Structure 1
């Protein structure tokens, strides 16, 4: 099984989130690639190159999507993700109230427009992954692998 983890980060927090997910994939024997989302063209995604696709992005100004992920987001509905299990996670800051982690919700909504398979509910991490968030991210990753295994 193969997974691809795409991330965007300003502070390093989302790379930490991605690393927790990747460590769990590797513990489960899943071959994993980690890439900066700004280096990936959504339209170049091929469903035969990964079984699982995870995006890890931060929420920017007033609950908007990170600039690095906008092109990916805009192209996503036109991407063939038939048979690909997807999941979304991201760090944020609860200080921002209703805008906390909205990038996770925005990307999950966009993924729902593809033929991909929703593998697990999105995970929002307050700042850096602590022990509780790490556990939640590990369970998220396990659910993705389980869902992909059943397809």
Structure 2
């Protein structure tokens, strides 16, 4: 089973979450390829090469999709992800009324493309603390158990 973990991070918070999630899955001998969307050469069609997707984003402003993910978000309309297991996560800021709005928008877009969101989205307030790190690890465990059920 191959998982793609894709994320965007401006301040490093979502990147830190990504590293925790990848580390937990890798320690369970799961093949995880990690890409930073605005830095690595990754396209929406690349998701089709994997058995499952974990997607992380921060939220910009009042629930907006980050600038560096706008094209990716739009390009998703052209890809069929039917049945592909997906989990979403990201850092958020409760100062804004739409807490983690970009995560919610991507979740709806994944569903519209036919993907199967198999775990509840993980939202962390700004920089992950030790409690949040444990939540990231549990998210990875829950995702792993759900995709095993889905793939069998």
TM-score by length of 1: 0.90
Equivalent residues, number? 148
State the shift of 1:46 in Å: 4.8
1:34-79, CA deviations, whole angstroms, 9 ceiling, x for partnerless residues?
A: 111233221x2253x2112111111112210111111111122321
Alpha carbons 2:4, 2:53 under 8 Å: kept? yes
- TM-score (normalised: structure 2): 0.89
2:84 maps to: 84
C-alpha separation between the residues in 2 aligned to 1:105 and 1:132? 22
Secondary structure in 2 aligned to 1:60?
Answer: coil
| Partner of residue 41, structure 1 | 43
Give deviations 1:10-57, integer Å, cap 9, x for gaps: 111111011111011112211111111233221x2253x211211111
Q: Kindly indicate whether the alpha-carbon contact (under 8 Å) linking 1:59 and 1:91 is maintained by their aligned counterparts in 2.
A: yes
- Contact 1:119-1:144 within 8 A present in 2 as well: yes
User: 2 CA distance for matches of 1:46 and 1:36?
Assistant: 13
Moved more, 118-127 or 136-145: 136-145
CA apart distance, 1:119: 1.5
Q: Is the 8 A contact 1:5 1:55 kept in 2?
A: yes
- 2-side partners of 1:11 and 1:114: how far apart? 29
What is the RMSD computed on CA atoms of the aligned residues? 1.5
Aligned to 1:13: 13
